[in-house]
Amino acid sequence: MGLFFSSLYPWTLALHVIAVIAWMAGLFYLPRLFVYHAEEVQKTPALDPLFQTMERRLLRAIMNPAMIAAWIFGLCLVFTPGLIDWSQIWPWTKAAAVLAMTWFHQWLGARRKDFAAGRNTVTGRRFRMMNELPTLLLIVIVVSVIVRPF
Ligand code: HEM
């Protein structure tokens, strides 16, 4: 099994990075859409269905498949022999940040359902603040996995 994952390593890593880029693009864009959805629809209610369609398609067509692919290829890398030394700290900081990123994805999914049901209570300002979270997590993940300072 280990030999199998080792032989696939360059492809697994490439597919992991591609999936992560697509996932991150959605994690940055969807909260931005929510900011405008929360603020602009109060002034122009006719925009509501357009925002709902954009949010649903972004989540279903791009973000959900990209997150699943990032997890599948990331776990293949975890099972590739010799890549991770669990006695170091960086795999744990990366794992914690990835779990937080996955929680953020689920949080956005729940907010999309709220918008679709017409019961959103989160303000544009709060969405702007939440928009910083994926940036912070991205920095923790990339520094953990590439600089490996710990
Ligand atoms: C979804 C769950 C994830 C798992 C299980 C996972 C696991 C892994 C593993 C085991 C590696 C190989 C490390 C090595 O080359 O020694 C890796 C590489 C990498 N991961 Fe992830 N990862 C996940 C999500 C992410 C996310 C969300 C990001 C970025 C935001 C990310 C960015 C990277 C990068 C940039 C590399 C390449 C590092 C290099 O080759 O130098 N990963 N990942």
Quote the tokens at residue 10.
Answer: 């360059």
The pLDDT confidence band at residue 42, using thresholds 50, 70 and 90, is confident
CA of 85 to the centre of ligand 1 (A): 14
Mutate to test the pocket of ligand 1, among 8, 15, 77, 147 (most ligand atoms within 8 A of CB): 77
Report d(CA 104, CA 27) in Å as an integer.
Answer: 8
Q: What is the ipTM of this complex?
A: 0.90
Domain boundaries, the chain: 2-147
- CA distances to 10, 12, 13, 67, 68 from 16, rounded to whole Å, are 10, 6, 5, 10, 10
Q: Pick from 135, 129, 137, 107: which is nearest to 35 by CA?
A: 129
**Ligand 1 atom nearest residue 67's Cα:** 1
Can you count the helices (H) and strands (E) in the chain?
6, 0
Report d(CA 94, CA 27) in Å as an integer.
Answer: 17
**Ligand 1 atom nearest residue 75's Cα:** 5
pLDDT digits (tens, 9 = 90+) for 89-127: 999 999 999 999 999 999 999 999 999 999 999 999 999
